[in-house]
Chains A and B, each alone.
Chain A
Amino acid sequence: MIRFENVSVTYADAAAPAVSGIELTVPEGELSLLVGPSGVGKSTVLGAVSGLVPHFTGGRLSGRVTVAGRDTRTHKPRELADVVGTVGQDPLSHFVTDTVEDELAYGMESLGLAPDTMRRRVEETLDLLGLAELRDRPIATLSGGQQQRVAIGSVLTVHPKVLVLDEPTSALDPGAAEEVLAVLQRLVHDLGTTVLMAEHRLERVVQYADQVILLPSPGAPPVVGAPADVMAVSPVHPPVVALGRLAGWSPLPLSVRDARRAAGPLRERLAGRTPPPTAVPDGDVLVEVDRLSVRRGRIEALRGVGLTVRAGESVALMGRNGAGKSTLLSALVGLHTPAAGSVRVGGAVPHRTRPGELVRRVGLVPQEPRDLLYADTVAAECAAADRDARAAAGTCRRLVAELLPGVPDAVHPRDLSEGQRLALALAIVLAGEPPVLLLDEPTRGLDYAAKARLVRHLRRLAAAGHAIVLATHDVELAAEVADRVVILADGSVVADGPAPDVVLSSPAYAPQVAKVLAPWLTVPQVATALDGT
């Protein structure tokens, strides 16, 4: 259905090709997963399928890409619109109209389908994706998972033979991600749609794939094969594969269920050992939130939330999209005035403290690290950060180098990779040496290597006496970093306790290793225990 014949893409004023020597075939009706570290050109490959590369992005494409027999060289994206449906990373930038029903019909209107066909297909798609109750809703009022489903539905109505998805679940909470994946499963099984999808969170998707296409490093030719074979050599892999590789299982398990069936001997080896106990923090209380309520317009985003964080403690805030995690973090840096209750951070009341004063007590890395960056080079950004925080010159630059070596000085922050940008934002925040560090969804767009580096830094900071609060959907990250997990639902705290207790008691928040080998939570824990034998 999709064929790449010796394809290389070189963007304008780039020294090296973004991808080269791509030779692959995606057969009809298969779900293919495109994996690889950040920045190896996954999005370029996806764009080449829909014709956006090179027709829209510019650059040079050599070789040949054919989709359903049409050569993308001679067909513009709009002429491929009836065979390829593309959904990008951010569903919001995909929407042209403002209500769900119009959005589903938009593609069909462009293709000029007959009104009664359109009507029938919209109804079918509403049912297929479970969107029937939302049909008249303005898109802006939908949750992240609902928006992602509408985005998929909006390309499905034209009955494309191929569906191309770029990180469809990265921004979603575990429940919403399940929803979207269930829909994709149904499309592949019931309608025979060919799906090509790139995703960083392999633990969510790899077990559904029929074929995995691995781009091992920039410019390297792809490795294509059955999921288990490719995962055995892949530099990016989910925890369950890491566990399988550690224990030397063959075939490699891809799902929790496979791993559980293979885990008998490993359990015996681990018998009698227990995971290291979580440290009981005894530092000073740095964050004190008492019966906090925050209203945003007519909506009560937080009601009666209580939270205490001590020095040296790291806390993960979890909960579905819109549960109030970000609002709580914003309240801690004084972006919201409490409607009731009180917030104290390092002895100060955040919303009454001047910003210049506050950065020395608490720092927040926002969901979009780019928001923190204004200057046009990394060096200028760091110099400005030193001035803002009244730190010694060079502090921020030194922190960047410590967090992630090799970030060039003269580059525009926009041209950094996601991981580099996060490191820069983190360094800017840390320049003020705030005892309290807050991170909002820090692993969006990070591959496993970048995530592991982030985990190491956060642990080092916690050991140095920083209090860390991170809001995240990533259960693996929470298991590796947090001593304590707080679950928010509908603006209130519904669970608060040591990380192992909270995540083990709830299947939605349990990391993969815990599902196989409870009470063990992470691969490094298991590895350390096995080293001891």
Chain B
Amino acid sequence: MRARAPRADRSNAVHAGAWWLWALGLATAASRTTNMLLLALVAAVAGYVVAARRTDAPWARSYGAFLRLGLAVLVIRVVFAVALGSPVPGTHVVMTLPEVPLPHWAQGVRIGGRVTAEGLVFAVRDGMKLAALLVCVGAANALANPARLLKSLPGALYEAGVAVVVAMTFAPHLVADVSRLRAARRLRGRDDRGLRALLQVGLPVLEGALERSVALAAAMDARGYGRTAHVPPAVRRLTAALTLGGLLGICAGTYALLSASGAGYGLPVLLLGVAAALAGLRLGGRRSARTRYRPDRWGPRAWLVAGSGAAVAALMIWAASYDPAALDPAAVPLTAPTLPLWPALSLLPGLLPAFVTPAPDRAGREERADLVRESAPEPVKGATP
């Protein structure tokens, strides 16, 4: 009998925090190397897990946007390297751009001039590193519902967290508004393309967003958002003292750790500060009477997911110490990147979530697309595909 991952539904969903830890692990690994092949491998690992485990939910669709953003970062980095020159000395001149003469006070700044292969390679590596980080963040975003993560916050931070999530759900509304209003410009016989069209719909879009937020605020108020439980004044004062004292302790402890002299007492102060702040948050949570409906459980699958991310990060950090040349190949002189065996293998545990987490229903996915077609709300006019 083959062991297969169960069908994903709410009761077996992997804790959102586990997905974020996994993604942070991959991101840490990506930040440790400039080897293009390893970076591509990190992106591929993240991409494979997303392809295998993401659902059809709106937040899962943002992955494509993150991919495009990553590509854009890569392109911008290379364009800058070409236009503004690169600090990397090189001998292989690819082309020479006309150089803009700059006054003497702008020495050190160069526009145009020689473009060397070394400089380009360096820029591509740097851009790829940033792009890989973005892909990891995008993967976490696609795999974990941001609203679920909120449920794991301590009670005292809940209200701030709601504000963040509401703000996040506003972005898609804004995009839909912009395309609808641009379509409406066409109905008035004005051009619907170009920058001017975009600017002119700006004000109505903002007005619409404002109105929507007021309506939402009214709805939330009427549904009991912000109800508070009675807390005795002594507890309130204690909460304030603990939180403030804790934050001060964290600041002092961090400063001491970073400065040369205070290494001895830095760590205990920091730990005390963290403990006090946590206690303050916990007490502060008493003020809110909220309960949580079916929060995600941190089960064995969540341990595996988070653990695989941590393993990747740890293995790559270790690899950086035993094989620094492979992880960070020199740009000068030019060398072809090689795929170092052990560091590459140490990225592969990142694939584990694609096999151990519950799988979204493939058949259901198709069916769901049909349902959406039949029952989608009146389509937004002019949201041209």
**Per-position 1/0 for A147-184, Cβ under 8 A of B:** 10000001100100000000000000000000000000
Q: Which residues of A contact B172 (CB under 8 A)?
A: 140
**Per-position 1/0 for B184-221, Cβ under 8 A of A:** 11111111100000001001100100001001111111
A65 CB to closest chain B CB (Å) equals: 14
Q: Are A138 and B183 in contact (CB under 8 A)?
A: no
Q: Are B223 and A366 in contact (CB under 8 A)?
A: no
Q: Which residues of A contact B219 (CB under 8 A)?
A: 86, 88, 93-96
Q: Which residues of B contact A86 (CB under 8 A)?
A: 219, 222-223
Q: Judge whether A82 is part of the interface by a CB distance below 8 angstroms.
A: yes
**Interface-lining segment among B106-114, B328-336, B376-384:** B376-384
| A335-B379 CB under 8 A given contacts A109-B292, A118-B291, A141-B372 | no
| A432-B189 CB under 8 A given contacts A86-B222, A299-B376 | yes
Question: Which B residues from 278 to 306 make CB contacts under 8 A with A?
Answer: 289-294
Q: Judge whether B32 is part of the interface by a CB distance below 8 angstroms.
A: no
Which A residue sits closest to B215, measured CB to CB? A93
Q: How far is the CA of A99 from the CA of B215 in the complex (A)?
A: 19
Which A residue sits closest to B150, measured CB to CB? A97
| A78-B221 CB under 8 A given contacts A136-B10, A335-B381 | yes
| A50-B216 CB under 8 A given contacts A364-B187, A366-B184, A440-B381 | no
| A374-B204 CB under 8 A given contacts A50-B222, A142-B375, A366-B381 | yes
A379 CB to closest chain B CB (Å) equals: 16
Sampled A-B contacts (21; CB under 8 Å): A56-B218, A56-B221, A79-B227, A81-B224, A82-B224, A93-B216, A94-B219, A101-B293, A110-B226, A115-B292, A142-B375, A158-B223, A296-B379, A301-B373, A330-B382, A355-B192, A360-B189, A366-B184, A374-B200, A389-B189, A440-B381
Q: Judge whether B231 is part of the interface by a CB distance below 8 angstroms.
A: no
Q: Judge whether A36 is part of the interface by a CB distance below 8 angstroms.
A: no
> Range of interface residues on chain B?
35 or more
Q: Which residues of B contact A296 (CB under 8 A)?
A: 379, 383, 385
Q: Are B374 and A322 in contact (CB under 8 A)?
A: yes
Contact residues of B with A, CB < 8 Å? 9-10, 56-59, 145, 147, 162, 166, 169, 172, 180-181, 183-192, 200, 203-204, 207, 212, 215-227, 229, 289-294, 368-369, 371-379, 381-385
| A300-B373 CB under 8 A given contacts A330-B381, A432-B189 | yes
Q: Which residues of A contact B200 (CB under 8 A)?
A: 374
| Most chain A beta carbons < 10 A, residue from B216, B218, B222, B223 | B222
- The 10 A-B residue pairs with the shortest CB-CB distance in the complex, in nearest-first order: A81-B224, A105-B293, A110-B224, A359-B189, A112-B289, A143-B375, A93-B215, A371-B184, A388-B189, A94-B219
Question: Which A residues from 315 to 341 make CB contacts under 8 A with B?
Answer: 321-322, 325-327, 329-330, 333-337
Which B residue sits closest to A438, measured CB to CB? B187
Q: Are B215 and A297 in contact (CB under 8 A)?
A: no
Known: A50-B222, A80-B222, A322-B374. 19 other contacts (CB 8 A): A77-B222, A78-B224, A81-B227, A95-B219, A96-B166, A98-B59, A115-B293, A119-B294, A143-B375, A144-B377, A146-B375, A296-B385, A299-B369, A325-B378, A326-B378, A333-B187, A359-B188, A371-B184, A432-B189
Q: Are A107 and B373 in contact (CB under 8 A)?
A: no
Q: Which residues of A contact B9 (CB under 8 A)?
A: 136
**Majority SS at the chain A contact face:** mixed
Q: Are B369 and A385 in contact (CB under 8 A)?
A: no
Q: Are B378 and A144 in contact (CB under 8 A)?
A: yes
Q: Are A367 and B58 in contact (CB under 8 A)?
A: no
Q: Are B223 and A334 in contact (CB under 8 A)?
A: no
Q: How far is the CA of A33 from the CA of B147 in the complex (A)?
A: 37
Q: Are A98 and B147 in contact (CB under 8 A)?
A: yes
Q: Are A112 and B229 in contact (CB under 8 A)?
A: yes
Q: Which residues of A contact B371 (CB under 8 A)?
A: 141
| A81-B222 CB under 8 A given contacts A335-B183, A385-B188 | yes
Q: Are A490 and B222 in contact (CB under 8 A)?
A: no
Q: Are A108 and B227 in contact (CB under 8 A)?
A: no
Q: Judge whether A129 is part of the interface by a CB distance below 8 angstroms.
A: no
Residue in contact with B293 in the complex, picked from A84, A119, A337, A355, CB distance below 8 Å:
A119
Q: Are A110 and B225 in contact (CB under 8 A)?
A: yes
Which B residue sits closest to A101, measured CB to CB? B10
Q: Which residues of B contact A432 (CB under 8 A)?
A: 189
Q: Judge whether A529 is part of the interface by a CB distance below 8 angstroms.
A: no
